[in-house]
Amino acid sequence: MGNSNKTYDVVVIGAGHNGLTNAAFLAKSGLDVLVLEKNDYIGGATVSRELEPGWFYSNCSYVCSLFRPEIYQALDLGRHGLEIVPLQGSVTFSQSGDYFGSYHHSEIRRREIARHSQRDADASIRFDADLMKWCRLIRGMLLRTPPDPTSFKPRDFMEFAFLLKKFHELSEDQIYQFIRFFTMSIAEYLEEYFENDLLLAHFSGGSIIGTGLGVYSPGTAYVLLHHAMGDVDGNVGSWGFARGGMGAVSGALASAFQAHGGEIRSGAEVAEINVSGRTATGVTLASGEVIKAKKVVSNLDAQRTFLKVMNEKDVPPDVLTRARNFKIRGSSGKLNIALDGMPKFPTLPEGSPLTLGHMHFTDTLERLERAYDDWKEDRWSADPYTDTLIPSQYDPTVAPPGKHMMSVFVQYCPVEAEGGWTPEKKDAFGKTVIDQINDYSPGFKDMIVHAEVRTPKELEEEVGLTGGNIFQGELTLDQLLFNRPFPGYAQYRGPVRNMYMCSSSNHPGGGVMGAPGANAAREILRDLKRTDTTPEDFGDD
Amino acid sequence: MTKNLSAIVIGGGHNGLVCATYLASSGVKTTLLEARETLGGGLSKQTLRDGTAVPGLIQTHHSLNDKIARELKLQSTPCEPLPTTLLSTSGEHITLMGDKVSGAGVSARDISEYRAFREEYLSYGKALKSLMLNTPPRLKHFDWSDKTVFAKLGLDLRFGLGKAGLNEFLRVAGMNLFDVLEERFSSELLKGGIAADALFGNHAGPKTPTTVLPMLMRLFQETGSTASRQVAQVDNLAGQLAEAAKSAGVEIKTSTTVHSVVMDNDKPTGVMLENGDILNADIIVSNADAKTTFLKLVGARNLDGMFTHRVTKTRTNGDVAKFFATFDATPKFTNLSQNASSGRFLVAPTLMYVERAFNHCKYGEFSEAPVLDIHLTTLDNGKSLLSANAMFAPYNLKQGWEAGRAAFEDKILDILSLYAPGIASQVACRELWSPTDIEKSFHIEGGHWHHGEMAIDQSFMMRPVPGAGQYGTPVPGLYLCGAAAHPGGDITGLPGRNAAKQILADLKGRR
Amino acid sequence: MHDFTKTLAPSPFYDRIVAQSQTQNWAHWNGYQTPRVVDTVASEYFAVRSSCSVMDLTPMEKYRITGPDAKAFLNRLVVRDVSKLKPGRVTYVVWCNDEGKVIDDGTVFHLSEGVYRLCAQHHQLDWLRLSSIGFDVSIELETHDVAALSVQGPTSYSVLTEAGISGLETVKPFDIVHTQLDGFDITVSRTGFTGDLGYELWTEPENALALWDAIFEVKKRGLYDIRLIGLDALEMVRIEAGFIMPGWDFNTAETVIRDGYDRTPYELDLGWLVNLNKPYFTGKRALAAANKQPLKRKMVKLILDGNKVPSGSFIFDRKDGKNIGAVMAHSWSPILKRAIAYADIELINGQVPKEVSVEIYYQKELAWKLHWARAEVTDKPFWTPKRRSITPPDAY
C-alpha cells in the first residue's frame, strides 16, 4: 500500500500495455513510479482471463505483431517471460465451397493465388513491394513524437525536416503513390493490383478491423498497415500469439517494471487528477485516497482523460470541445469460445495447415461493405466479417488437453444496438456469429463448452475503452500524427503542467504496439532532463 | 515568343473556351474543335424529346471565378441569386441564402452557427487560393514556381488562418461531412442539405471520409467576391464565353469530332478528325476527360505502360442522373409560397437519408429514396419545367439503364410527391438522362460530372493521375485543360485558365 | 484443389532428373524443384564446355502472345526494335518500367507468323497484361504447358542429330525450326544461356520423357557423353558468356523498395539494346532523357589477378581507396584460369576505370584473411568460342 504522505515521482493511471510500457521506461531511469489499475487484474485490453475453468481467453486483443521489437529488447521482455510464437497463414472461405489459403510458405502461397488468378499471383509481387515502401516510411515514425505543424520551435522544425527527408528518400512518383495509399479506400487501392473477388476480399479484411469504416471508405488502405507492418522476428506482416495469451505481454511488462523498482496497485480506480495552480499534483482514488505525485500520466483514452478524470475547470474550454468531438466509436465485437474439441472445416483438405491461421468467412467486397452498412444503422452485421483463430493449436497452456480455445473477432458491432443492448440482443449477436462459423464447420455449435460474447459495451465497461473502440480513438486522417488525439496535444503533454498522456489515443495509435507508452516516457524524461531510457528505432537496414 | 505558334483545343466546354481565349489573347493562333453542334458542353442548352428547350446538364452554378471573368472581360450580367430551399415533409422548410438560414424550425443557435461555419470554411477556401489559381506544385524536384506556390500556400495557411485555424483546418481536411456537421448543427434538415450540396457529383456519402474536401473545393468558388457567393441560374454563360473566345481570335469549329491526336516522333503535331482531315498545331490541349484523352485520342501506343494502367484505374463513373418533367401548370409544393416556387430545392432531409441513398450505388443499384436538387422554371410557352439532379444513380446499374430508367423516374416522382402531393399525375412529359446517356451525349467517360472523382487521391498534383498533374502530360506538347485537371469539376473555369497559364509559361521556356 | 503438402512442383522431367541426381541437391526455380548440382560442379561445367550438357528449362517463365496487335504490343513492351523479327527467329530483349528501369530480361521467339513466345526470368503476367491495355492481343502463361530442355556444348549438334532430330545443319544462331521426333512435334531453337554451341528444345509435357529418352539413348549407345547439369554449373558458364541475371546481378524494378536501387539498361551495359528511333515503348522518354545525362554508374565485367574468388567483395578505385561499388556475381573460370566477376560500380570522373581493386575476404583453414586483388575492367564477354556461331556446326 502506498504511503499517503509519500510523493511519487510519477503516477500512471491504467495498467494497460501502454501504461506499463511507459512506467517501465520511467522506472528504468530511476524514477519512483506507481501504476494504478481500476480492475483487480492488470493488462487493460492485453489480458488472459480464465472465465471457464481450464480455458484462458485473450478476451480483448488476441494476436501480437505490432509490438515494437525495440521495446521488447530495451525492456528485456524475453527474460521477463514473454514468448511470441509466429502463427501461420490465413484463409478465406467462399460461399461456393472453395477457399483461398494464404499459406505461410511463399511458394505454396504463390501457387494458391495462381489457382484463383494467375495474374494476381504476379501482381502480388508489385503489391508486396509497394506495401513495403509504405511500411518503411510509417515504421520510421512510430517511435517518434509528431511535430506540431503550427509551431516555430526548432525541435518541431527539425522533426519536420526529418519527415521531409524520409519522404524525399522516395522518388517523386512514390511520394504521390504514398499519398494516394494514405487517402484511398482499401478496396479501390487493391483493385489497382488485383482482379479476383475472393483475393480482394481476403486482402482487404485487415483494413476494417477495429474501424468505423467500410472497405470502400477512403483512409482504410492506410489501416492495412496497422495490421501489416508488424513483424515477428523480421517476418514483416506475420502475426504471433503470446504464449499463455495476451496477458503474457502485460505480465512481462509488469515484471520488467517491477524489476526496475516500480509499484502496481490494482483495484485502485482513479476518480480525479488533482490539479493545483494549473499543475498536476497527483490523483484522488474512487475510495477517496489521495496519492501525490510530481507527474501524472494518463493511459486512459482522450475522452476519459479530459472528460472524466480531469476536473472540467482544469481543462480549457476548447480542449473540452475537442475531447467531446474526439471520434471514438467502437465497431468490434468478440466471441471467446471454449471448445470440446477441434472443429472441422470440411472445405479444407485433410491435414490442411490453414486452420492454424486467421480464418475468414467473407468472400466478396460487397459482403464486407454491406456488413459496414449495418453498423452505420446501429445494427450488428447480419453477415459479419470475422477474424477467427484457434490459438490452442499452438499454445497448450490456453485450453485443457484435447480441448480448444477459439477467438472470434467480429466486425461490425455497434456501441449501442438500436435502443440499447439487452441480454437478448447480445445473445442474438453471438448467435449470428456462431451460425456463420457453423455454416463452414458443421457440428461446431455442439462443441461449444462456454462462449463469452463481448460487444463494445463490455469493452467500455470492463476495460474502460470509451465506446469500446479498440484503438482508443478512430484511426482516421483527422486523428493521426499531429492530429492525434487532437491538434495541439499530440506531443503527449496534457493541458496542465506535469500531466501527460500515454494511451493509444496518442500517436501512433492503437494495436498492441507499446509505442505511445514509450514515446510519452521519452517526453517525460526530456522534461525532467534525465537520460532517455526509451529505444530508438532499429532503422531501415 | 508565342507569335507564330499554334494550338488546337479539343472540346468546347467552358474550360476549353476559357483556355482557348487565354491562349489566343496571348497571340497563340488557337483553333477550338467541338464535336457537338453547340458550345459550352454541360452548359449548352438541350432539347427534350417533346421539343422543350431546357438548360443542359447544369441548371444552377456558382458563377465563374471572378478573376477569369475580369481577365476575359466577360460582360458582367449580374446573375439573379437563387435561394436554396431545403424541403421538409413537415412543411417546415429551411432556406439558405448566402450566410443566412431561415425557416420555422431552425434554432437560433443553428442560425449563428451557420454563419460562423460559412465564415470558417470560406477562410479555409481562401487559404487555398494559391493552390487553386496555379499549377499544382510537384512534390519533388521543385522548380521556382513550385516553391512560390508552396511558400504562398504555407503563409496563407499559417498566417491567414492563424495557429488555431490551421490546427482546425488540418483536422477537418481529412474528415467526413457527417462528423463535421454533427459537431456543429442540430437541425437534421440543415445538415442533410449542406451535405447533399457538397456531395453532388461525387461517389460519396456524408460518412465517407475526406468528404470535407469537395465542400471546400465548392466553397472556394465563393471566395472570389460577394457576388459569387450565391447560387445562380445558368444564364448565357456558354454564349458569353464563346463571344469572348471569338473576339480574342479563337477559330471555333463546331460539329467537328476529333478522332485522334497525330503523333510524330513521340510528339503531337496535330489532330485527325473523324472525317480523316488533319489539322496541325504546335500545342494540343484537351478539354476531354483523362480516359478519352489518353486512351482514345492519344492511345496507349504512345504512352508508358504503368501510366496507361493508372489512367484506366481512375474512378470516373458518374452517380448523378438528370431528370426533367414538364407541367401545364406550376406544380404546387406544400407550404411554399408561389414566388418561392421558382428557385432551387434540395431533397435531403437528414444526413442518414443521404447516406442511405449512397449505400445503394455502391452495389450498382439506384437509390431507393434519391437525393434531389430541383430547379423550377416557367417556360416561354407558359408551361412549367422541373429539372432535377438525382443521386445516386450509378453508371454501372446492375440491371442496366434501359431496364432501370422508368423505375428510377418513378422513384424520383415518388419522392417529389412527398413534397408536392399529386405531382406525379400532373406530369406532361418526363425524361431521364442516366450517366450512360450523359457519357454519350456529352462525350464524358463514365458520365461523371467532374470528369473523375474529386477524392484526395485524384486531386491536386495527382489529378487526374500523377505524371499528368501539372496540365502538361507525359506527352510533351499535349495538355489537359478540363475538369480532369486540377482543381477539377464545377463551373469554375480554373482548369482552363491555369492550363493556359502553364502552356504560355512553357512556351516562354520559363518552366 | 491445391496441394499444400509440396512446396515445389515437379517438372515433366522430374522422374528422370531424380534418377540421375547423385547429390539430391535441389534448388527452387519459379516454383519448380530443380537440381543445383547433379554430380559435381566441375563435371557439369566441362559437359557444357567440352561435350554435351542437358538442363531442364521447363521452369523458365513462358508466355504465348498472339492476336492482331501482338507485334505492336511487343514492340511497345521492350526497348529493342522487334518489329522486324521474322518468323523463325529469336532475339534477346529487356523491358523497362515508365521510369526506364529494367523490369526483366528474356527472349522473344517469333514462332510463326504473328505467334510469339516471350521467355522471362521472373513472373511477368501482371506487367504484360497491364501493358496490353489498348492492344488487341492475347497473353497466356504457358510455362506449365511447354516442357523444355536445353542441350548445350560442342557435341550438342551431333547428339541431337544422333537422337533423330534432323535438319539442324542449317539452323543458325537464334533460328527456330519446327520438326518432329518419333512422331511428336518439337520446336528447336539455337539459343542458350551458356555462350556455347547449343539448342533449346520445346515440346508438350506429355512428350517430355520421350524427348529426354531419345537424347540420353545416344549416351547409352556409347556415342557421346551427355550430362545433366544443375544451376551451379550454369552460373559459371553464363558469367563466362557475359549474360546477366535480373534479380541476382541487379534489382528488378518491380521489386525495388528504396528509390535509386533500380537500374536503367545503360547502367547495366545494355544500352546497345535500346532503340530510341523506334515507335514509342514504355520507358522511352525516361531513357531518352537518361541517355542525355552522363552515366553515373555501370555494371562492369572484371578479370581478376590471382586465384581468389571475390565473393561479396567491395570494389575500390585503388587499394584502401574509395569504395565505388560491389561484386554482384562471380565465378572461377576453369577455361580462363581466372576469377571473373560482374561489379556494379560508380564511374570515376564520368569514366569507367580501366582497373580497380577488389577487397576479397577468404578463409585459410577457417581463419579469415583479407586479400587485395587488382582487376581489369573489360567490356567484352569473358569467353566466346567460335563454335558458338558457325553454321553448320562442327560434327564430332
Per-residue pLDDT tens over the stretch C186-219: 999 999 999 999 999 999 999 999 999 999 999 9
What confidence score (pLDDT) does residue B229 get? 44
The C-alpha atoms of residue B326 and residue C163 are separated, in whole angstroms, by 86
Max CA distance (Å), chain C: 64
What confidence score (pLDDT) does residue C332 get? 97
Interface partners of chain C (CB pairs < 8 Å, 3 or more) are A, B
What confidence score (pLDDT) does residue B228 get? 46
B304 touches chain C (CB under 8 A): yes
- Tell me which residue range forms the domain holding A71: 7-47+64-83+244-326+473-527
Interchain CB distance below 8 Å, C2 and A101: yes
Q: What is the DSSP letter of C318?
A: S
Handedness of CA B461, B467, B473, B476 (dihedral sign): positive
Nearest of B481, B483, B486 to residue B466 by alpha carbon: B486
Interchain CB distance below 8 Å, B306 and C97: yes
User: What average pLDDT does range A93-110 have in this prediction?
Assistant: 94
The C-alpha atoms of residue C282 and residue C73 are separated, in whole angstroms, by 11
Nine-digit cell string for A232: 515477428
B305 → closest Cβ in C279, C282, C285: C282
Q: CA A495 → CA A19, A311, A317, A490, A528, distances in Å?
A: 19, 12, 11, 11, 18
- Asked if the model's pLDDT at residue A226 lies above 90, the reply is no
Domain membership flag for residue B152: yes
Return the half-sphere exposure (C-beta side, CA atoms, 13 A cut-off) of residue A118.
14
Q: Is A291 helix (H, G, I), strand (E, B) or coil?
A: strand
The C-alpha atoms of residue B122 and residue B455 are separated, in whole angstroms, by 20
Strands A358-360 and A90-93: parallel
Domain membership flag for residue B199: yes
- Tell me which residue range forms the domain holding B193: 110-226
Report the run of H or E that residue C338 belongs to, with start and end.
strand C338-346
Q: Domain of B473: which CATH number?
A: 3.50.50.60
- A216-230, A451-465, B438-452, C335-349: the lowest-pLDDT one: A216-230
Domain membership flag for residue B393: no
Share of chain A above pLDDT 90, in %: 87
**Percentages (nearest 5) of helix, strand, coil residues in chain A:** 40, 20, 40
Residues B213 and B295 in one domain: no
Nine-digit cell string for C115: 505467334
Q: Which of B226, B249, B275 is the last residue of a domain?
A: B226
What confidence score (pLDDT) does residue A137 get? 87
Nine-digit cell string for C393: 556446326
Report the run of H or E that residue B70 belongs to, with start and end.
helix B66-71
Burial (CB count <10 Å: 0-12, 13-18, 19+), residue C13: buried
CATH of C294-381, one of 3.40.190.10, 2.60.90.10, 2.40.30.110, 1.20.120.1200: 2.40.30.110
B304 → closest Cβ in C98, C135, C279: C98
The C-alpha atoms of residue B54 and residue B47 are separated, in whole angstroms, by 6
Q: Count of domains in chain B?
A: 2
Nine-digit cell string for C287: 531513357
Residue of B nearest to C277 (CA): B265
Residues B125 and B273 in one domain: no
- Asked if the model's pLDDT at residue C220 lies above 70, the reply is yes
What confidence score (pLDDT) does residue B380 get? 81
Domain membership flag for residue B471: yes
- The side-by-side arrangement of strands in the sheet containing B427-433 is B100-102, B94-97, B84-86, B344-347, B371-378, B384-391, B320-327, B427-433
Domain ranges (residues) in chain C: 14-58+146-229, 294-381
The C-alpha atoms of residue B336 and residue B338 are separated, in whole angstroms, by 6
- Asked if the model's pLDDT at residue A389 lies above 60, the reply is yes
CB contacts of A482 in chain B (<8 Å) are 170
Angle of helix A106-116 relative to helix A118-142, nearest 10 degrees, comes to 130
Per-residue pLDDT tens over the stretch C280-304: 999 999 999 999 999 999 999 999 9
Per-residue pLDDT tens over the stretch C71-129: 999 999 999 999 999 999 999 999 999 999 999 999 999 999 999 999 999 999 999 99
Instruction: Outline where chain C has alpha helix (H).
Output: 14-20, 41-50, 70-77, 125-130, 156-162, 208-220, 231-241, 284-292
Interchain CB distance below 8 Å, B301 and C279: yes
Residues B220 and B191 in one domain: yes
The C-alpha atoms of residue A286 and residue B343 are separated, in whole angstroms, by 60
Q: Please report which confidence band the pLDDT of residue C64 belongs to, taking 50, 70 and 90 as the band edges.
A: very high
CB contacts of B463 in chain A (<8 Å) are none
User: What average pLDDT does range A212-240 have in this prediction?
Assistant: 82
Domain membership flag for residue B362: no
Top residue of B140, B267, B304 to mutate, by most chain C CBs within 10 Å, is B304
The C-alpha atoms of residue B30 and residue B6 are separated, in whole angstroms, by 6
Domain membership flag for residue B467: yes
Nine-digit cell string for B180: 463535421
Return the half-sphere exposure (C-beta side, CA atoms, 13 A cut-off) of residue A348.
27
pLDDT in tens, chain B (511 residues): 556 899 999 999 999 999 999 999 999 999 999 999 999 988 888 889 888 888 888 877 766 788 888 889 887 655 667 789 999 999 999 999 889 999 988 999 999 999 999 999 999 999 999 999 999 999 988 888 999 999 999 999 999 999 999 999 999 998 999 999 999 999 999 999 999 999 999 999 999 999 999 899 888 888 765 444 455 555 688 889 999 999 999 999 999 999 999 999 999 999 999 999 999 999 999 999 999 999 999 999 999 999 999 999 999 999 999 999 999 988 889 988 766 556 789 999 999 999 999 999 999 999 999 999 999 888 888 889 999 999 999 999 999 999 999 999 999 999 999 999 999 999 999 999 999 999 999 999 999 999 999 999 999 999 999 999 999 999 999 999 999 999 998 888 999 999 999 999 999 874 3
Q: Which of B176, B202, B226 is the last residue of a domain?
A: B226
Per-residue pLDDT tens over the stretch A259-276: 999 999 999 999 999 999
Domain membership flag for residue B88: no
Interchain CB distance below 8 Å, C8 and A107: yes
Cα torsion for B107, B109, B111, B116, to the nearest 10°? -160
- The side-by-side arrangement of strands in the sheet containing A99-102 is A99-102, A90-93, A358-360, A385-389, A404-411, A332-339, A448-454
What confidence score (pLDDT) does residue B511 get? 38
Question: Which residues partner with C189 through β-bridges?
Answer: C176, C200
What confidence score (pLDDT) does residue A168 get? 86
What value of ipTM does the predicted structure carry? 0.96
Q: Which of B209, B226, B243 is the last residue of a domain?
A: B226
Top residue of C34, C101, C126, C130 to mutate, by most chain A CBs within 10 Å, is C126
Q: CA C267 → CA C263, C323, C329, distances in Å?
A: 6, 18, 16
CB contacts of A111 in chain C (<8 Å) are 2, 9, 31
Q: CA A45 → CA A62, A277, A412, A515, C258, distances in Å?
A: 9, 34, 18, 16, 37
Domain membership flag for residue A107: no
Q: Count of domains in chain A?
A: 1
Handedness of CA B298, B300, B305, B309 (dihedral sign): positive
What confidence score (pLDDT) does residue A3 get? 52
> What angle is formed at CA A389 by the lines to CA A387 and CA A393, rounded to 5 degrees?
170
What confidence score (pLDDT) does residue B98 get? 86
Domain C14-58+146-229 grouped into CATH 3.30.360.10? no
- Asked if the model's pLDDT at residue A2 lies above 50, the reply is no
User: What average pLDDT does range A480-507 have in this prediction?
Assistant: 96
Return the half-sphere exposure (C-beta side, CA atoms, 13 A cut-off) of residue A353.
14
Q: Domain of A522: which CATH number?
A: 3.50.50.60
Nearest of A471, A460, A458 to residue A508 by alpha carbon: A471
Please tell me which residue, A88 or A362, carries the higher pLDDT value: A362
The C-alpha atoms of residue C353 and residue A377 are separated, in whole angstroms, by 71
Interchain CB distance below 8 Å, B301 and C133: no
Residues B178 and B32 in one domain: no
The alpha carbon of residue B192 and the mean position of all alpha carbons in its chain are separated, in whole angstroms, by 20
Domain membership flag for residue A143: no
What confidence score (pLDDT) does residue B510 get? 44
